[in-house]
Structure 1
Amino acid sequence: MTKLTSIEAEFATTERAEAYDAWLRSEIEASLADPRPSIPHDHVMAELCAIIAAKKSSQA
């Protein structure tokens, strides 16, 4: 059996690590090819903070 790198060691086998790598690369390629405009990080974080705050206040 091939010695796994620290990243691959998270997976049971080298084959699973390679399958994950292929999947991740296809997801990244699809994201980069997406023609929709990007959403600024600050905007996304503001929306998430509002969602979290609303959830916390509804549980109080």
Structure 2
Amino acid sequence: MRVIVLSSEVLYASNKAFDTLLQTIKGKQRLQHLKSTDANLQIQVDSALQRVISTISTI
């Protein structure tokens, strides 16, 4: 899961907003299927998703 978060952050930094959105959505979906999750990881995924949605909204 942390790899997905890092990947989405790299894509975001590379100005690849739609790729970032897809990667972040995948991470969110996988996180929802886990029985137990790290609260910090949940926060990171949610923050990444909000950041990329905000970016795409301004495009």
TM-score (norm 2): 0.39
Structure scoring higher RCO (CA < 8 A, sep ≥ 6) equals: 2
Question: Which structure has the larger Rg over C-alpha atoms?
Answer: 1
TM-score (norm 1): 0.38
Structure in which a larger fraction of residues adopt helix: 2
